[in-house]
């Protein structure tokens, strides 16, 4: 007597369960890795933001709305701007997106990156619009002591 062949759909159904399980395991693992990567990138960003540039300024005053490029101790360039009569700010010139030098645009009263059209707030350096995920790195401004 001939043996009855195994019914194909039964084997196929059990294979689908295994595939779904493998898929869910892989998707779960990928999600965990993505979250870990995002968390690590955020921590790295916070670390780079925490260290401000130290700038030595001479005592030549800036007019309101005027900007000056200053080289920091480590060689990085920064922009110093007299935003109003009592507010002098300074930020690293490198755009946090891909590193193009940002410009001070007096007419718009903000920093702008010409590479991908980002804009940053004049007082805080925070992103107003554009691709950067965080604002400009602030500079700590130190006025040079006058020698007597």
Per CB under 6 A, does 72 bind ligand FES? no
Nearer to ligand FES, 82 or 130 (CB): 130
Among 62, 82, 131, 138, binds ligand FES (CB under 6 A): 131
* Least distance to ligand FES, CB of residue 75, Å: 19
CA–CA separation, 121 vs 138, rounded Å?
12
Residue 44: enclosing H or E segment and its boundaries?
helix 8-50
Nearer to ligand FES, 55 or 118 (CB): 118
Closest CA to 95 of 72, 70, 78: 78
Nearer to ligand FES, 82 or 112 (CB): 112
CA–CA separation, 109 vs 121, rounded Å?
8
CA–CA separation, 88 vs 65, rounded Å?
10
Query: Greatest CA span in the chain, whole angstroms?
Result: 116
What is the chain's length? Answer: 148
CA–CA separation, 68 vs 104, rounded Å?
9
Nearer to ligand FES, 33 or 98 (CB): 98
* Least distance to ligand FES, CB of residue 144, Å: 31
Binding mask 94-123 for ligand FES (x = CB under 6 A): -x-xx-x------------x-xx-x-----
Binding region for ligand FES (CB under 6 A): 95, 97-98, 100, 113, 115-116, 118, 130-132
């Amino acid at each position: 007597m001939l043996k009855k062949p195994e019914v194909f759909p039964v084997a196929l159904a059990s294979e689908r369960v295994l595939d779904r399980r493998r898929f869910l395991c892989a998707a779960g693992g990928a999600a965990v890795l993505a979250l870990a990567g995002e968390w690590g990138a955020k921590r790295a960003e916070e670390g780079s933001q925490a260290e401000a540039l130290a700038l030595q300024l001479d005592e030549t005053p800036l007019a309101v709305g005027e900007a000056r490029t200053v080289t920091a101790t480590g060689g990085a360039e920064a922009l110093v701007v007299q935003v109003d009569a009592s507010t002098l700010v300074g930020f690293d010139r490198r755009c946090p997106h891909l590193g193009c030098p940002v410009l001070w645009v007096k007419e718009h009263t903000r920093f702008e990156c010409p590479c991908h059209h980002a804009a940053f707030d004049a007082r805080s350096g925070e992103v107003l619009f554009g691709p950067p995920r965080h604002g400009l790195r602030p500079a700590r401004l130190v006025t040079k002591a006058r020698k007597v």
